[in-house]
Amino acid sequence: MCVICADRAEAVAVGPCDHSEICHHCCLRLRILYRDARCPLCKADNATVYLTAAASSAPAATVAEGGAPQPQPQPHAPPPPPPPPPSFEELEAARARAPDRFYSGKRWALGVHVDKAMPDPPPALLAPGGGVAAAAALRAWQGRWRVPLHVQLLQWTSRSCPVCDPLGRNRRPFGTPKELREHLLTHGRVQCPVCVQAGRRFPLELEAHQIDDLPRHLARAHKHCAFCDEYYYGDDEMYDHMKRKHFHCGICQAAGTHHLYFA
């Protein structure tokens, strides 16, 4: 589980500190959008990281002589923990032996090497006699990893149109935010300028709003300064703006009344 987004990590980032508790998505957000190459756990400055598929924690099923899957000896016991991902030294050695196994883009994410090797299926999906459900689960797993990890991430981080190319499969996405903005207008759509300026998410993660719906999104999702008639991304940005641009009463704050500002 990723320590930032708390989602189950399908791929993890491994740096020189050997912490692997951050998923591939959060790693790229930190390094590309936030310009932060530090480990979120120990704050070590990791100039190089590897993104590799996480091992599955699914336990293998036991099969009787007749081929029917049998219940685990302790059905209520938690599944065994998954094996740890390769260490940073192991991945460095693998890249030295087979450089073509890893993808790195000089104009994409500096210092990030993505393992292009396909992960092995979970043992439970390969156990004989699993029946229709196991076969369907195996097909779903194979479909999930049909596209190599580095291609998935290049598509996910691309500056593509969320209307006509929502999966980022266009080989030639837009070169600048202005080009994407002008293209979205041909669909009668816009992306929220506050979300774009905040730079917290990649273009394909931002919703393409109908032009008439943008004011409702601004009022619902962002903070509004009544003095300036401007919107700010969240509480932190709003607080920073109020502290810098407006006044507060020290007597009121001493009396316990906070966040009261004046023009």
Which of 54, 34, 38 lies closest to 46 in space, CA to CA? Answer: 38
The one-character DSSP state at 85 is P
Give the chain's residues under pLDDT 50: 57-70
- CA dist 80 and 205 (Å) reads 34
pLDDT at 231: 96
Residues contacting residue 109 through CB under 8 Å, at least 6 positions apart: 28, 31, 32, 157
Neighbours of 192 (CB within 10 A): 19
State the DSSP string of 115-128.
E-SPPPPPHHHHST
- SS3 string, 137-170, reads HHHHHHHHCCCCHHHHHHHHCCCCCCCCCCCCCC
Residues contacting residue 188 through CB under 8 Å, at least 6 positions apart: 210, 211
The one-character DSSP state at 213 is G
For the chain, what is the radius of gyration of the CA atoms?
Answer: 24
Neighbours of 42 (CB within 10 A): 11
Number of H helices, E strands in the chain: 10, 12
Distance of CA 44 to the CA centre of its chain: 20
pLDDT at 76: 59
CB 102 within 8 A of CB 112: no
pLDDT at 83: 74
SS3 of the chain: helix, strand, coil, percent, to 5: 35, 15, 50
Give the model confidence (pLDDT) of 16-55 as tens digits: 999 999 999 999 999 999 999 999 999 999 999 999 988 6
pLDDT at 54: 83
Q: Which two tokens stand for residue 151?
A: 């291609």
CB 169 within 8 A of CB 147: no
- pTM (whole model) above 0.85: no
- CA dist 16 and 44 (Å) reads 8
pLDDT at 58: 42
- CA dist 183 and 181 (Å) reads 5
DSSP H helices, 21-163, are: 24-28, 88-97, 123-126, 131-144, 149-156
